[in-house]
Structure 1
Amino acid sequence: MDLEQALQTFLEESRELLDEMESILLDVEAEQTSAEQLNALFRTMHTIKGSAGLFGLETIVSFAHQAENLLDQLRDGKLALDDELVGLLLRCHDHVKLLIQALTANEALEPLRDEALEAALLGYLAVPQAMQPERHHEDPKPAASQRERWLLSLRFGPDVLRSGLDPSSFIRYLATLGEVEQIHAISCRLPAGADFDAEGNYLRFELLYQSDIDEQSLSEVFEFVREDSELFIWPLKIAAAHLHEACASATPDEAAEVERAWHQMGALGQAFPLENPAAAPDPLLEHPLATPDDEPSLAKPSPAGRADIQAEPAPAADARGGRGGESRFIKVEAGKLDSLINLIGELVIAGAAANLIARRSQQTQLVEATLSIANLIEQIRAGTLSMRMVQIGEIFHRFPRVVRDVSRELGKEIQLRIVGAETELDKSMVEKLGDPLLHIVRNAIDHGIEPPPVRVAGGKPAQGNLWLNAYHESGSVVIEVADDGGGLSRERILAKARQRGLLGEDEEPPDSAVFQQIFEAGFSTAEQVTNLSGRGVGMDVVKRGIEQLHGNIEIDSEAGRGTTFRIRLPLTLAIIDGFLVEVAGSTFVLPLETVIECIELPSGLPENGVHDCINLRGELLPLLHLDHFFELTPTVAARRNVVVSQYGDRKAGLVVDALQGEFQTVIKPLGALFSTLKAISGSTILGTGEVALILDVPALIQHACRKESERFALPPRADAARPGSPLQGSTP
């Protein structure tokens, strides 16, 4: 096994373990601590310590060992997990995470030592036993008489030393989990003369071992050396039935030595003296093994891919023969997946071109063949895109710690509630959502939720509530951040906007337009500047970040009741199902998920402006004539069509000249020159090789609804009654 690959595995698994540790510590604050949670906390730090020891990372090993000792006392009931201790363990989590990040960046670890934190740990460990609170552990360690005795037959691969792994370190690690009673080292096919390789491994080990750990944990010890190794584990009492398996690939001399060792350990009946003193175990190996304080521990990786080593009662097999139970998941480098999706995008374009040529040829068989290929391409596309979908809980689960720390800094009591963490979104979008959500959550804690005395005086519970919610709606993903605080002050925001010239003195915009002012750069109504907020920095960045993901953000707020920030995002930014329309001789693409229906444009409607509306089955539907909107030269068409589109709870009709049908659309980003366009979200390549623009339907619907609302809502001006006035007759 490549040592660099093993190190990357260690770093990734350490991050996962630290996430698990943080989640447990935040959970136990709200619930009664269980023995299972305490054991999980101990295993987290114990595993990181052991894995770090494998790579000689003494800084991580020494600190993790101190934290492990504290957690050991905690699970044994010698300490109680109170609020202060949770805070200390969270600091330990942060410190180990910092060390892992430094190791990932190839930075030195020793300068990062936190002596104050180490002193705090030692202070807990030095508390006299009589002064420590009494706790009864629900899962006491088994007595020695309850421990299982195991026979381990370990034949490490010939390149184990060359890969940087020391077989003896595995045995030292076993000693930290139980007691190694006997070790027998047997030379395997030892060559003579020039054929001897000083970096090769020619030893196998037969061990008699006693421990209270289960066979699963025992198997995980050898995760890093399962390749090219023969590793067997059996309970001692049934090992005799498997002697032939242990010797299946051994030479006759080696098999005789293995049988002699098993007799010596009592696996084949009563032990007897060795006839050949030269075959006795190496005295260095028989010496008492080092304790965890003397030697770095060995890695005990996480359960992923654990079944290569055989342990009864599972069916015995050679570790090289594959896993006893295949893992349901594999890890793929993100860059490889992105490259695959790009290639599939090009395949979609090439398939569209082939289908166009086939239809022009009017050869039925060729058309059918290209349609079959297109169907397969669509299935491949859908399957590949699903691989990039990850649960948004990956982000949501960062926030319990943020809420805990920030609320305590501000002296507030806040309960975070997460709903819809299983909602899936494109991985590239999830990674970019972290900062915008962080800004919104911090502002909700600082500005939104009142201090406990204010809440109590207003008839509310002292503890505030903050919700993170995600769900699918109309082909989009909706993410909500809601609080039950004091709500936004329309009057203060409106006054500030007028002061800065963002709104006119006589304007009375709706609440939604007023609340959108907080996204202006430098806009803040905070009376005090803190280290969290009040400088007007952040909310404009939030909106810009959401718009870069082709999404939008809305605000609902009610004074005294709370505020909800609602973010709408497309499911993916790679390949979508599109709907082609023709406007003034140009082709545009609408995301198919936003299209509800298509109807013929009623005759007799005035076309002297961009906006008008129709009655769609009793519903007022604003219309947007795309040729007028984009200032294209109108063409004469026998009939025109309305594409009824919806985004969220808003609808609008987009007037087009012709409908061209569905089209698999590969999204190509626009250059920096077009970055300020609000109605265009990207481009694609058609089967003809032409470029078609992808319309930003949410922006178009918002524009149509806003303009039509203003048109009907504004009172008539003094010149409204003059003949020829554009406002004449516009009010109902």
Structure 2
Amino acid sequence: MSFEDEMKAALDTFVVESRELLQDMEDGLLGLEHDDNPQDAIGAIFRAAHTIKGSAGLFGLDHIVHFTHVVESLLDMLRDEELAISSALIAVLLPCRDHISSLIDGIAAGQMEETDEQRDTGKILHEQLRQFINGTPPDSSSEVITHQDDHHPHTSGGGVVDSGNWYLSLRFGQDCLRNGMDPLSFIRYLSTLGDVINLITITDNIPHLEQMDAESCYLGFEVVLKSNASKEAIENVFEFVRDDSVIRIVPPRSKIDEYIDIINNLPDDDELLGEILIKSGVLTKHELDECLSLQKKRQKLTRSDTPDAPIGEILVKQEMLQEPILNAALHKQQKVKDTKAKEKQNIRVDAERLDKLIDLVGELVIAGAGANLRASKANDIALSEATSEVMRLVEEVRDSALQLRMVPIGTTFSRFQRVVRDVSIELGKDIMLEISGGDTEVDKSVVDKIGDPLMHLVRNSMDHGIESAAIRVARGKPAQGTLRLNAYHESGSIVIEVSDDGGGLNRDKILAKAIEKGLIADGTGLSDKEIYALIFEPGFSTADQVSNLSGRGVGMDVVKRNVTSLRGSIEIDSEAGIGATMRIRMPLTLAIIDGFLVGVGKSSFVIPLDQVVECVELPKECEDQDYMDLRGEVLPFIRLRKMFEIDGAEPRRQNVVVISSGANKTGLVVDRLMGEFQTVIKPLGKLFGHLQGIGGSTILGSGEVALILSVASMTQHYSRMEQKRLLAMPNNSNR
């Protein structure tokens, strides 16, 4: 791989990690106002901004460093409790987070410099940040904004210290270059924390030419940095090379003995070292002489069996003072190593590679089914046992592969914290978001596609579900409305609920509007759920006026269409004056499912196995009916032959597959029951997008194609067909 390719890969990693940090930053900011103990959250937000700034500095992305530097400074003041948490402060920090995200998106698109529009936005946000910082009592922290354009020191990590000269002794590991790290980039980044007064390159470790490896790093640096940054901030500059490098940092006005170890590890050029230390102001000439003298005494002490008492007392005193510091440093280093080891247990895998794996597993399932079918036809017991074992292993591989794509839906839910906050301000309402079931796992492909439908449902609930504070108080409700997002598993599916404690849906108004639009016949007996489902009809709305967020009902057909395309269903529970719940039910994965294979004529259909309740024989007395008595319960059923207009004579004996969709049961009348079937879902393509009740197709072991039924879509489509049939009947107005 060329250097350019390595840099591009490193930059891509920076973009991905930055986006994750920005999401964590947003989540933390949204929770600050309601956190009783916000210090941990503030620290996490600060670290996110600091890591982005540090990583951007390594790539020379000065515009990101420049902007994030000021945000980080304000966060540090917040961390030191020099600023109080307030809604106004959060309202400024959230757009700052968005601006950093915009800059990162520009990098992802190959835009290495900020645009004029981004620069103008950054200036406006900087001005807003300055107002917060300048409103605090005057102290040294106020210089952060005043001098930030000149790259003067900042206050990151551990508070502000007086400006002074830091001494840094750096020995980069030999694998530094191989790991994609440029030692000089760290030196350049130090200049954003202050002024580099002196810099010496140490080359004593460079071997002879014939022994030199061009990819190994043999360089070291002695750096004097004038800065008022904290030690933590300077240490964090070297976070990515800390494990395999030797980084020694001595703060300003440190005790003389803190320079001893550095001097011991430097080349034997005391005059050069002394000149740098004195000229940089790290030590006076007297202090340097004392330091070197103490070094010689220590060396003499190690060669003496009976040290003199004064020197012994000095060393004992020094070791007593340094032991707690040493122990703390070792403890911190061990924590970092443990964290790094834990991080290395996780591997970042490109989503396309994972999709490719799932596709291959799907093809393996089809091939295995074909081999199993041929083995059974050959009537070879040994071969059948072998293919059965192969199929068992294939199922385990399938389950393991699908598990790789399972992610908690809480990540999607948490993004709505920002939506609820912004829309609440826009509507002038006080709305709180409650999230439960965030640990519920679902296929990543489902998570990616459910975001838009959820967004529409959330906005509608806030706009037309939850009343204004004045109306709520008049109705005896709390002034603050509550919006709830919940997720849970049910019978192999995932159920997502969007609930509000608003006024609920107006049943009578919906029914009257449906009759007016000719969707149903006057006098048609419909349950409450069937009436509520009418709002998903195209163009249906009961809103008196359309707001910027759209009225409840406008665009709901799009929501339903998107959910149906995921082989899901949506239903509504509502109680007037109490609130409403939109309930989405979808399969856990969109790639491979366990199905139940049935036949009608020469056609084959696959029913999702998790929706199959039981199979019964169709009673003879029900051959001319569309319902049957199932142990005292009326079971309506759909004749697949009639619905899909399949030619051929009906067999003497037909079967009913009882399926469930939520709390409702329906029967499917079929010719043959062909048993359980593990199936790979293949999309039908845009040409067949208009088909109702079909969720996809699959290839059988025999090579034939079978259609996969979308139970929810099919039952709803059949219900609409029956309603239209009733409307078309003569004298339907008198029914």
TM-score, normalized by length of structure 2?
A: 0.78
How far does residue 638 in structure 1 lie from its aligned partner after superposition? Answer: 6.0
Look up the match of 1:587: 604
- Residue identity in the other structure for 1:129: P
Alpha-carbon contact 1:182-1:286 (below 8 Å) kept: no
- Residue identity in the other structure for 1:267: D
Distance (whole Å) between structure 2 residues aligned to residue 682 and residue 23 of structure 1: 37
Q: Secondary structure at the match of 2:674?
A: strand
- Residue identity in the other structure for 1:61: V
Distance (whole Å) between structure 1 residues aligned to residue 210 and residue 698 of structure 2: 68
Look up the match of 1:166: 183
Distance (whole Å) between structure 2 residues aligned to residue 606 and residue 343 of structure 1: 45
1:661 is aligned to 2:666 = no
Alpha-carbon contact 1:153-1:205 (below 8 Å) kept: yes
Q: Secondary structure at the match of 2:702?
A: coil
Look up the match of 1:267: 261
Look up the match of 1:202: 218
How far does residue 170 in structure 1 lie from its aligned partner after superposition? Answer: 5.4
Distance (whole Å) between structure 2 residues aligned to residue 278 and residue 192 of structure 1: 28
**Mapping of residues 402-551 of structure 1, within 5 Å:** 402-507=419-524, 509-534=526-551, 537-551=554-568
Cα displacement string for residues 482-531 of structure 1 (whole angstroms, at most 9, x for unaligned residues): 11111122333333334433344554643333323322333333333332
The change in CA–CA distance for 1:349 and 1:123 in structure 2 (over 3 A counts) is same
Q: Secondary structure at the match of 2:548?
A: coil
Distance (whole Å) between structure 2 residues aligned to residue 536 and residue 645 of structure 1: 29
Distance (whole Å) between structure 1 residues aligned to residue 194 and residue 629 of structure 2: 77
How far does residue 129 in structure 1 lie from its aligned partner after superposition? Answer: 0.5
Look up the match of 2:12: 8
Cα displacement string for residues 244-299 of structure 1 (whole angstroms, at most 9, x for unaligned residues): xxxxxxxxxxxxxxxxxxx994239x96997556985995999689xxxxxxxxxx
The change in CA–CA distance for 1:324 and 1:14 in structure 2 (over 3 A counts) is closer
The change in CA–CA distance for 1:338 and 1:436 in structure 2 (over 3 A counts) is same
Instruction: Name which of 85, 89, 106 aligns with 2:110.
Output: 106
- Which ranges in structure 2 are unaligned for 5 or more consecutive residues? 141-156, 251-256, 283-328
Instruction: Name which of 196, 206, 229 aligns with 1:189.
Output: 206
Distance (whole Å) between structure 1 residues aligned to residue 511 and residue 342 of structure 2: 63
Look up the match of 1:645: 659
- Residue identity in the other structure for 1:593: D
Look up the match of 2:173: 155
- Residue identity in the other structure for 1:606: C
The change in CA–CA distance for 1:352 and 1:220 in structure 2 (over 3 A counts) is farther
Cα displacement string for residues 199-227 of structure 1 (whole angstroms, at most 9, x for unaligned residues): 9743135899999878xx9987556458x
1:48 is aligned to 2:52 = yes
Look up the match of 1:119: 127
Distance (whole Å) between structure 1 residues aligned to residue 276 and residue 169 of structure 2: 20
How far does residue 26 in structure 1 lie from its aligned partner after superposition? Answer: 1.3
Alpha-carbon contact 1:512-1:555 (below 8 Å) kept: yes
**Mapping of residues 21-100 of structure 1, within 5 Å:** 21-100=25-104
What is the aligned-residue RMSD (CA, Å)?
A: 4.3
Alpha-carbon contact 1:185-1:282 (below 8 Å) kept: no
Alpha-carbon contact 1:183-1:281 (below 8 Å) kept: no
Q: Secondary structure at the match of 1:267?
A: helix
Cα displacement string for residues 560-613 of structure 1 (whole angstroms, at most 9, x for unaligned residues): 1111111111111111111112222432211111112223333x323235x121
How far does residue 195 in structure 1 lie from its aligned partner after superposition? Answer: 8.3
The number of equivalent residue pairs is 649
Distance (whole Å) between structure 1 residues aligned to residue 181 and residue 169 of structure 2: 26
Q: Secondary structure at the match of 1:462?
A: coil
Cα displacement string for residues 393-424 of structure 1 (whole angstroms, at most 9, x for unaligned residues): 12111111111111111111111101111112
Distance (whole Å) between structure 2 residues aligned to residue 142 and residue 69 of structure 1: 10
Distance (whole Å) between structure 1 residues aligned to residue 340 and residue 39 of structure 2: 31
Alpha-carbon contact 1:341-1:384 (below 8 Å) kept: yes
The change in CA–CA distance for 1:281 and 1:371 in structure 2 (over 3 A counts) is farther
- Residue identity in the other structure for 1:123: Q
Q: Secondary structure at the match of 2:622?
A: coil
Alpha-carbon contact 1:446-1:532 (below 8 Å) kept: yes
Look up the match of 1:330: 347
Alpha-carbon contact 1:153-1:207 (below 8 Å) kept: no
Cα displacement string for residues 6-39 of structure 1 (whole angstroms, at most 9, x for unaligned residues): 2122211211121112111211222335322222
The change in CA–CA distance for 1:25 and 1:195 in structure 2 (over 3 A counts) is closer
The change in CA–CA distance for 1:434 and 1:281 in structure 2 (over 3 A counts) is farther
How far does residue 694 in structure 1 lie from its aligned partner after superposition? Answer: 1.3
Distance (whole Å) between structure 2 residues aligned to residue 404 and residue 702 of structure 1: 35
Alpha-carbon contact 2:204-2:267 (below 8 Å) kept: no
Alpha-carbon contact 2:167-2:223 (below 8 Å) kept: no
- Residue identity in the other structure for 1:626: L
Distance (whole Å) between structure 2 residues aligned to residue 550 and residue 5 of structure 1: 37
**Mapping of residues 346-425 of structure 1, within 5 Å:** 346-425=363-442
How far does residue 461 in structure 1 lie from its aligned partner after superposition? Answer: 0.8
The change in CA–CA distance for 1:178 and 1:29 in structure 2 (over 3 A counts) is farther
The change in CA–CA distance for 1:358 and 1:641 in structure 2 (over 3 A counts) is same
Distance (whole Å) between structure 1 residues aligned to residue 202 and residue 668 of structure 2: 81
Distance (whole Å) between structure 1 residues aligned to residue 168 and residue 552 of structure 2: 65
The change in CA–CA distance for 1:471 and 1:272 in structure 2 (over 3 A counts) is closer
The change in CA–CA distance for 1:623 and 1:351 in structure 2 (over 3 A counts) is same
Q: Secondary structure at the match of 1:78?
A: coil
Distance (whole Å) between structure 2 residues aligned to residue 180 and residue 368 of structure 1: 78
- Residue identity in the other structure for 1:685: I
The change in CA–CA distance for 1:648 and 1:173 in structure 2 (over 3 A counts) is farther
Look up the match of 2:628: 613
Instruction: Quote the sequence identity (%).
Output: 46
Cα displacement string for residues 529-548 of structure 1 (whole angstroms, at most 9, x for unaligned residues): 33222497532221121111
The change in CA–CA distance for 1:543 and 1:325 in structure 2 (over 3 A counts) is closer
How far does residue 233 in structure 1 lie from its aligned partner after superposition? Answer: 6.4
Distance (whole Å) between structure 2 residues aligned to residue 155 and residue 207 of structure 1: 17
- Residue identity in the other structure for 1:493: I
Q: Secondary structure at the match of 1:590?
A: strand
- Which ranges in structure 1 are unaligned for 5 or more consecutive residues? 133-138, 237-262, 290-310, 720-726, 728-732
1:679 is aligned to 2:683 = no
Cα displacement string for residues 667-697 of structure 1 (whole angstroms, at most 9, x for unaligned residues): 1111333222222211111111111111222
Alpha-carbon contact 1:26-1:401 (below 8 Å) kept: yes
Q: Which moved more, 1:273-282 or 1:8-17?
A: 273-282
Distance (whole Å) between structure 1 residues aligned to residue 265 and residue 403 of structure 2: 62
- Residue identity in the other structure for 1:64: T
Alpha-carbon contact 1:651-1:701 (below 8 Å) kept: no
Look up the match of 2:643: 629
The change in CA–CA distance for 1:315 and 1:109 in structure 2 (over 3 A counts) is closer
How far does residue 359 in structure 1 lie from its aligned partner after superposition? Answer: 1.7
TM-score, normalized by length of structure 1?
A: 0.78
Alpha-carbon contact 2:460-2:552 (below 8 Å) kept: no
Distance (whole Å) between structure 2 residues aligned to residue 279 and residue 369 of structure 1: 78
Distance (whole Å) between structure 2 residues aligned to residue 577 and residue 590 of structure 1: 9
Alpha-carbon contact 2:595-2:608 (below 8 Å) kept: yes
Cα displacement string for residues 177-213 of structure 1 (whole angstroms, at most 9, x for unaligned residues): 999999882433355599897x974313589999987
Look up the match of 2:582: 565
Alpha-carbon contact 1:588-1:693 (below 8 Å) kept: yes
Distance (whole Å) between structure 2 residues aligned to residue 276 and residue 102 of structure 1: 48
Q: Secondary structure at the match of 1:74?
A: helix
Distance (whole Å) between structure 2 residues aligned to residue 9 and residue 574 of structure 1: 28
